Structures are given as structure tokens and as C-alpha cells.
Chains A and B, each alone.
Chain A
Amino acid sequence: MKRSTLAAAVAAAFGLAAGAAQAQVSDNMVKIGVLTDMSGAYSDLSGSGAVEATKMAIEDFKAKEKPAFGIEIVAADHQNKGDISSNKAREWFDREKVDVVTELVTTSTALAVMKVAKEKNKIALVSGAASTRITNDDCNDVTVHWTYDTYAVANGTAKAVVKQGGKSWFFLTADYAFGHSLEKDSSDVVAANGGKVLGAVRHPFPGTDFSSFLLKAQASGAQVIGLANAGTDTTNSIKQASEFGITPKQSLAGLLMFITDVHSLGLKATQGMYLTEAFYWDANDETRAWSKRFFERTKKMPTMVQAGQYSSVMHYLKGVKATAGDDTQKVMAWMKKTPVNDFFAKNGSIREDGRLVHDMYLMQVKKPEESKYAWDYYHVRQTIPAAEAFQPLALSKCPLVKK
């Protein structure tokens, strides 16, 4: 009890100090925290690549905009745990004068940090986390959800697969908040498009052997097995489905897949699969130019999470410059009223629930013989316009949305 009182007093003192200097950019320094999975299951799709993307954004911003303030970056590993994330965010806001915490792959970490940011009146920019809870039940006015969410990926992939004739579905679901959210959003889309959900099996996270669950999916007789999981869970499911002869008789729909998963499994195992992404490095000249710079630094092509990370940090820094200060509400207001136009998003806009809406892309994985060069993995089958890609505000459960 005593300790928490003391901590609160110290925090208050820091808060006062920060408040007094807030006429302009506090200490003339903008400090960006990158809180992400540096070592676990999601470290390939975000991790050090997301830190590198942040550094690129800072360098580009400095070179182009010549800001009068300094910019610093701090990074930490949240180990996909909510408690570690909120402690780190608290420490950054209170002691290290961090202005904005970014990235936050894994829903539980994003939800934890959003709460702290709200309490401290600082900004959270979420790129890697997937759950629609971030802009629905748990939304707040200091958070922007940048790259994608479970609704957007389910909407793209499930709709496409049902339209191709995959009417009956069975879900293989990671047993935590994200998996449940993905399963629910996908089931809704399947039902809305005239398909039918026959059942689901929930597996512990992370898992290694999925054969038992796959046999259940096989026994269900569903045409499509929806993989409501991510990372190594998804890659292992796909690999073992082919070993047990489940594919190609039944088809798989990877509801959340990243280009790193396709890279890891190879085209032979993934060819023909549909997936929805917010970004593909080989989409146009602008994306190629940025991605090649990213590749030179990391030796990997960027995932949508890493590209979105760059985009969000850049938009934030522009907001600080335009409002000539790092006041949270002013910067948030600027970010929401200014459209996002860069290699990642065209005419993207941030809604009152904190959702950045932008075009999404339905991809189909190429056959091995169609791939001409390294990382040449996708056909872009369809551009899903921003207005359709995300959950409509009419369905929102976010209290900030005026109805």
C-alpha cells in the first residue's frame, strides 16, 4: 500500500514537471517507445524489423522535415505478456519521458498498454495486434489501431473463399482472446455470405502437434478448415494438414497469415491459399522502393506490421511538427483530421473509434513455377476498398462513436 502511494506521488511529480514544459515539445525531445515481441512467436513478423522500420521513419522525417526538436527511440521486449507491457509502458511514461508507445503485437499487450496510455494521457499506436476489441469494447481516445484487425482479414479471406464455393467451415482456433475474436469475426462473415459453420476446436497456445485437431476437422467433413491462429501455430497446422492427406481434399484458409509464414513454409506447401494483407512489398513502385531499403537493412522483406509501423510513426511525427508540440489531445486531433498518404496507405483516415481505415488486399499465394524471383509470393487478386474493408461504425461497440 505504502509503495503504491509513493509511486503515485513520484508519478504525479513527473506529471507536473512534464505539464509545466508543455507549451512546446517537452524538453525539445520526442521519445518513441517500440514495445514488441523481440524473441517469441511473433518476433519475425514484428520484432527487430519493427524497430528498424521505426528508425527508418525517424531518419526520413529528420531528412525531409528538418524538425527543430530531437527524436529518440527506445525499444523493449514485451514477451507477449500483458503485465510486462503495462509495467514497461508505465516506466517509460513516468521515468523516461516517452511520448508515444508503438507496435504492440499480441492483443493482450495492446489492451494493457492502451489503459496505461489513457491514464497518463499519452498516445498508443497499435500496429501488430489483431483483435477488434481495440477499437470496440476497449477503445479510447489516445489509441490508433493502424495496420489491420481480425474483422478486416476475416472479411477479405472468408468472403473470397465462400464465393469460390467453400460453403461449409470448421475452425481450428488458438485458445486465447485473439483466436476467439478471429473465429467469431470469420464465422459472421461465412454466415453472412451464405456459408455454414459446422464446428470448431480450440487448441492451447503455442502448440506443436496439431494432428489431433486436424483429424477432428477432417471428421467434420467441412469443405474448408479455417485456421484462426497465427505464427508458428499456423505454419505447423498447414504442414501437418498436408502430411495427413487432409489437403487438398479439404482446403485450408489461413485467416491471419503473414508473408514471413509463406516464406517459412515455401510455395509448395502454401500455393493457392487465399489471405488478406494490408501491404505487399511488390504491389507498386512506391512499395518496392521502400521495401528494398528495408531489405538492405534487415535481409528480409517487410511484413504489413513493419510497414504499418513506419507509416504510423511518420504520421505521428508530422502531427508533432504541425501542432508545434507534443500535447496528446492536439496531436491526436491533427492525426484524425489529416489523411494518411504514403506507400502504405492511400487516403487512409482515422475514425473516431481509433481505427485507421485504408484499402486491404486479397492475395493468392503463387505456384512455385509462377514465382520469378526471391519473395515473389503473391497474386493480388482484389483490392478491398477502405469503406468495405473494416467493420462499419454502425456495428461499433465503442462508446466514443456517436450514434
Chain B
Amino acid sequence: MTEIFGVPLPALMGQLMLGLVNGSFYAMLSLGLAVIFGMLNIINFAHGALYMMGAFFAWFGLTYWGIGYWQSLLLVPLAVGAVGVVIERSLLQWLYKLDHLYGLLLTFGLALIIEGLFRAQFGVSGQPYQIPDELSGAFNLGFMFLPKYRAWVIVSSLAVCLTTWYVIEKTRLGGYLRAATENPKLTQAFGINVPLLVMLTYGFGVALAGFAGVLAAPAFQVNPLMGSNLIIGVFAVVVIGGMGSILGSIVTGLGLGLIEGLTKVFYPEASATVVFIIMVIVLMVRPAGLFGKEK
């Protein structure tokens, strides 16, 4: 059997595949963060809590109202987005003129409150969410059995990420958004409703987190702490990719998933730390991140 550094090739391929699955979650979450930071200049620490909320909404839907997985994929991001819009209108909109630090503190506080509420209500052990029947079972890839659900995670998150990138970078609507970020006053003077755009952008960014939450629900236990376990790593991804860079966050998210997968093969103890080591190196070489522009 072919081996690379003492690891059989099929095992290595299997681990890379799993890295890609985790990378998909990183990509989707860091994309939401990048969109929000790029357009609103808000460092959204509540992102992890909203991801958790997405998973819980899916669980509520199934448990109390009989709303299945597929409907949840559509409805939950809308619901989480609506929560985001309320947060933006009631709290965040007063902070745009202030330093980043205020937005960071506010959203961090929000994250603690949201997590605390869910924890008080549901405890930390987590709630079970079954994989939908259509996606249970596995593909035999030769080098590994890939559960269909994990394959679906990769496909759907890539589709969502690429669509988002296309809309923001290549369409007229995206053009308005970018203009509104660059120079809000001038854009407003052209008759474009900038506050509305900003509100929708935040709503969309957190809806991405909600979507990731629904995708995560069948793979992991639905648990009030699931967001905070993930979010710090996701922030590292955003920093490595370059704050606010759309493409950067997608590519970096997937890439770091792969690197983490490799670390799990060769030195599993470091798999939670490797992201930060890379962050340190990148910041020393390119302080604006891999895809970021120096200001």
C-alpha cells in the first residue's frame, strides 16, 4: 500500500475529506462574518450564538411543529435573519460611527445573553436531531465510507458560498452594497436607501450562520455551547483570509479545514491549535491577511 510519511494513502485521503467537511462550516461562518465586517464594520461576536440558534430553531421545528429538515433549511435562515434585522435596527445601527470595539463588546454581550438563555432552558447535554432519511447511508469512495450527509454538507455550503460571492462581486445589487460601504453619503445622494441595504446585509450575514446551524444539527448534538466552541477558530479564519474579504474567507475556510484534517493525522493533540499558529505566521508576513488589502 502506498504510504506518505508512514500514513497509508487511503487513510490520508479520508482525513482530507473530513477536513473539507469541517472547512465547509468554517467557510460558511467566516463568509457571514466577512460580509458583515466588510459592509458594516462590525466585528460580529454574536455569530456563534446565531449559528447555535439556527440549529436550535431546526430542532424546535422538528420537535414541536413537525417541520422537517428540508423546510428548515429554508425557513430557519429566514427566522435567524429576522432576529438579525431586529438586532441591527434596535442596537447596532447606533454604533457605526464609533470605534470597532463598541460593536465587538455589544455583540459579545449579546452572544453571552443568547447562550445563557438557551443554556438555562435546555441544559448543556444537547438535543438529538436525526439525519433525514434521504441522506442517511454512505458512499463508498474506495478509500473511505463517506456518509451521504457529510457529502451534502460540502456541496450545499459550496453552492451557498459561491452564490454569495457572485452576488456581491458581480451583480448590480452587490455593486450598490460595495458603493454604500465605500462612501455611504454619496451613495445615498444617488437615491439608494443605504440604511435599508445595511440592515439587509446584516440580516443576510447572520442568515448564513443560521443556515450553517441547520446543516450542523444532524451532524453534531444541538447544544447551547456549540457556537462558542467553534467561533474563535472561525475568527482566526477571517483574520487569516483578510478582514472583510469575501473570497478570502471562503478559500481560507476550506484550506484551514484541510490543514486541520492533516494535523489530526500526524499530531491530533495540536488540531485545535494549528489554526492559531497559522494565524500568527500569516500576520507576521502579511498583516492584512492573505487576501486583504492594506488600508
Contact = CB atoms under 8 A, between A and B. Distances in A.
Interface of A: 39-45, 175, 201-204, 206-209, 211-213, 215-216, 219, 231-232, 235-236, 239-240, 243-245, 260-261, 263-266, 269, 300
Contacts of A236: 220-221
A43 B125 CA distance: 8
A40 B225 contact: yes
Contacts of A219: 8, 11
Contact of B125 (A207, A235, A240): A235
Nearest to A37: B124
A239 B218 CA distance: 9
Given A239-B220, A243-B219, A265 B131 contact: no
Nearest to B130: A268
A201 to B, nearest CB: 5
Interface of B: 8, 11, 14-15, 18-19, 21-22, 116, 119, 123-128, 131, 138, 144-145, 147, 149-150, 219-221, 223, 225-226, 229-230, 261, 264-265, 268-269, 271-273
A44 B124 contact: yes
Nearest to A38: B119
Contacts of A175: 269
B11 A215 contact: yes
B126 A245 contact: no
Query: Top 4 closest A-B pairs, CB basis?
Result: A204-B272, A264-B125, A212-B264, A44-B123
11 contacts: A202-B268, A204-B273, A208-B230, A209-B18, A209-B21, A212-B271, A216-B11, A232-B221, A236-B221, A245-B147, A263-B125
Nearest to A201: B268
Most buried by A among B124, B229, B230, B261: B124
Nearest to B22: A209
Contacts of A216: 11
Nearest to B136: A243
A261 B219 CA distance: 17
Contact of B221 (A39, A43, A260, A264): A264
A173 to B, nearest CB: 10
Contacts of A300: 123
B272 A43 contact: no
A264 B268 contact: no
Contacts of B268: 201-204, 212-213
Nearest to B137: A245
Contact of A269 (B15, B119, B128, B269): B128
A175 B269 CA distance: 7
B128 A213 contact: no
B134 to A, nearest CB: 15
B128 A261 contact: no
Contacts of A201: 268
Contacts of A207: 229, 272
Given A207-B272, A264-B127, A265-B128, A215 B15 contact: yes
Given A244-B138, A245-B145, A232 B126 contact: yes
Given A231-B125, A243-B147, A266-B128, 15 more contacts: A204-B271, A204-B272, A208-B226, A208-B230, A209-B22, A209-B220, A211-B150, A212-B18, A212-B264, A215-B18, A232-B225, A243-B149, A244-B145, A261-B125, A269-B128
